[in-house]
Amino acid sequence: MRDFAYARAAGPQEAVQLAAPPHARYVAGGTDLLNLMKDGVQEPDLLVDVGALDLAGVQSSPEGVRIGATARMSDVAADPAVTAIPVLAEALLAGASPQVRNMASIGGNLLQRTRCWYFRDATAPCNKRAPGSGCPALDGVNRWHAVLGGSEHCIAVHPSDLAVALTALDATVNTLRGDGERSIPVGEFYLLPGSTPDRETALHPGELITSVDVPTPGRGTWSRYLKLRDRATFEFAVVSVAAVVRLAGGVVREARLAFGGIGTRPWRSPEAEAALVGRPLTAATAQAAGRALVRDAVPRRHNAFKVDLVQRALTQLLGGVR
Ligand code: SF4
């Protein structure tokens, strides 16, 4: 590991000031960043520790839940305001292991890096890690890669379960930077890779995530998260589905669907949602939504199975809507 400086911020404003140099990085739980540093994948000059900032609370109101950026995943998953939103609690508990969830922060979870193993091998070419060096995943081992949202420069999947649930819930990411605060809808927070896969989010350099706002789902709304993975614990999604659905009189009045494991960012599908709204929720309509979801999929040599698997996952999850 390369040498680096370390500073502990006393408050959010001081953290932003400390993180002004271009090669500074924030750290809270460190469960992803420190592994990347040990492997030489990320080499910051300065770590600004925000783990002790007063940003760890979970506050609820009739409008929704505000989750502090440094709150631990396990604490958030156990909070009554969060367990009242099943898709959110289930996505939190589907991520990582109990030990990691006891350390990992909400902000760090949203900013964790892809599990593309070419990215995590500092000796391999990778446009995300070293722009212009190439993407060996396009024609290489791409079982874990995206079938939606990819480009000729990158097809890596975003690994966060939590981000998938937040996408279905229309959450907002609140931040602080040198010129003030701002709120970013989670649907605009993650960027498609395009020709700049090294840019993953809408955050500006040195911008600090302070909290996440989750609007309260409407009365009578059903929500769940289904994650399919290669083993039962501590594994990233092969495919996952977050569904927020409201039925009335047997007809779907509202549907918000987001998917993990298949897209280069947490994947919201307006096409799949439109295939459900205004129709009775049957196996046939769920299957039609699945077909709409994958209409533009670009499968690769090792990941074509995801196109079928994610449709089955959606049908299974929607089969439980009450
Ligand atoms: Fe790098 Fe993206 Fe290609 Fe993986 S898929 S090797 S992260 S450019």
The CATH number assigned to the domain holding 304 equals 3.30.390.50
Same domain, 254 and 233: yes
C-beta of 155 in contact with ligand 1 (< 6 A) = yes
Task: Evaluate: CB of 247 within 6 angstroms of ligand 1.
Answer: no
For residue 322, pLDDT beyond 90: no
Residue 146: CB within 6 Å of ligand 1? Answer: no
Cα of 140 from ligand 1 centre, angstroms: 10
88 with 230, same domain: the answer is: no
Are 63 and 210 members of one domain?
yes
**Ligand 1 binding pocket mutation candidate from 113, 152, 154 (most atoms within 8 A of CB):** 154
User: What SS3 class is residue 41?
Assistant: coil
Mean pLDDT for the chain overall: 97
Q: Is residue 236 part of a domain?
A: yes
Question: Domain check: are 211 and 228 in the same one?
Answer: no
Whole-number pLDDT of residue 15: 98
Domain assignment of residue 76, yes or no: yes
Beta bridge partners of 299: none
Indicate if 204 and 287 belong to the same structural domain. Answer: no
Residue 98 is assigned to a structural domain of this protein: yes
Residue nearest to atom 3 of ligand 1 (CA): 135
Residue with CA at minimum distance from ligand 1 atom 2 = 154
What pLDDT does residue 307 have? Answer: 98
C-alpha separations of 53 from 25, 50, 68, 73, 278 in Å: 15, 5, 10, 16, 46
> Of 77, 50, 54, 82, which Cα lies nearest the Cα of 66?
82
Q: What is the pLDDT of residue 321?
A: 87
What is the whole-number distance in angstroms between the Cα of residue 42 and the centre of ligand 1? 15
Q: Could you tell me if 91 and 168 lie in one domain? A: yes
| Three-state SS at 285 | helix
Specify the residue with its C-alpha closest to ligand 1, atom 1.
126
Kindly state the tokens that stand for 295: 């209409």
193 and 234, same domain (yes or no): no
Q: Which pLDDT score is estimated for 180? A: 96
Separation CA 126–CA 105 (nearest Å):
27
Domain end, chosen from 215, 235, 263, is at: 215
- Is 51 a residue whose pLDDT tops 90? yes
What gap in Å lies between CA 322 and CA 187, rounded to an integer?
Answer: 26
Tokens coding 263? 């897209």
- Matching residue, tokens 């009045």: 253
Closest ligand 1 atom number to CA of residue 124: 6
Cβ pair 272, 296 in contact under 8 A: no
Q: At residue 16, does pLDDT exceed 90? A: yes
The CB of 128 under 6 Å from ligand 1? The reply is yes
114 CA distance to ligand 1 middle (Å): 9
Residue nearest to atom 7 of ligand 1 (CA): 119
The values of phi and psi at residue 75, to 5°, are -65, -40
Residues 263 and 279 in one domain: yes
Distance (Å) from CA 197 to ligand 1 centroid? 8
Residue at 50 is within a domain: no
Task: Tell me how crowded residue 90 is: count the other CB atoms within 10 A of its CB.
Answer: 19
Instruction: State the Rg of the chain over Cα.
Output: 19
- The angle subtended at Cα 220 by Cα 218 and Cα 221, nearest 5°, is 60
* Cα angle value 165/156/114 (rounded, 5°): 65
Nearest to 310 by CA among 258, 262, 245: 262
Let me know whether 233 and 312 are in one domain.
yes
Ligand 1 centroid–CA 171 distance in Å is 27
| Both structure tokens of 72 | 């631990």
How many Å apart are CA 247 and CA 145, to the nearest integer? 34
Distances (CA, A) of 47 to 110, 116, 119: 18, 24, 21
The pLDDT assigned to 115 comes to 97
Does 307 lie in the same domain as 175? Answer: no
Last residue of a domain, one of 166, 193, 215: 215
In-domain check, residue 279? yes
Whether 182 maps to a domain, the answer reads yes
Both tokens of 212, joined, read: 């996440």
pLDDT in tens, 165-219: 999 999 999 999 999 999 999 999 999 999 999 999 999 999 999 999 999 999 9
Kindly state whether residues 93 and 207 are assigned to the same domain: yes
Which of 39, 155, 200 maximizes ligand 1 atoms within 8 Å of its Cβ, making it the mutation to test the pocket? 155
Ligand 1 atom with minimal separation from the 145 CA: 5
- Contacts of 196-205 spanning 24+ positions with Cβ under 8 A: 196/131, 196/153, 197/127, 197/128, 197/131, 197/135, 197/151, 197/153, 197/154, 197/156, 198/127, 198/128, 198/129, 198/131, 200/113, 200/128, 200/158, 201/111, 203/111, 203/175, 204/177, 205/22
Q: Which residues pair with 260 in a beta bridge?
A: 240
**Signed CA dihedral, 126, 131, 133, 139: sign only:** positive
Pocket probe mutation, ligand 1, options 118, 147, 157, 236, max atoms within 8 Å of Cβ: 118
DSSP 192: P
Q: Please, are residues 255 and 271 in contact by the beta-carbon 8 Å criterion?
A: no
Neighbours of 42 (CB within 10 A): 18
pLDDT at 233 over 90: no
Q: Final residue of a domain: which of 195, 215, 235?
A: 215
195 in any annotated domain: yes
Domain that holds residue 263: 222-318
Do the domain assignments include residue 81?
yes
Q: 167: domain CATH number?
A: 3.30.465.10
Tens-place pLDDT, residues 76-120: 999 999 999 999 999 999 999 999 999 999 999 999 999 999 999
How many other C-beta atoms are found inside a 10 Å radius of the C-beta of residue 295? 11
Cβ(157) to ligand 1 under 6 A?
A: no
Q: What distance in angstroms lies between residue 292's CA and the mean position of ligand 1's atoms?
A: 27
262-307, pLDDT tens digit by residue? Answer: 999 999 999 999 999 999 999 999 999 999 999 999 999 999 999 9
> How many independent structural domains does the chain possess?
2
Let me know whether 229 and 244 are in one domain: yes
Instruction: Give the span between the Cα atoms of 131 and 104, in whole angstroms.
Output: 28
Indicate which atom in ligand 1 lies nearest the CA of residue 125. Answer: 6
pTM exceeding 0.95? yes
For the CA of 140, the closest atom of ligand 1 is 6
Residue type, 58: V
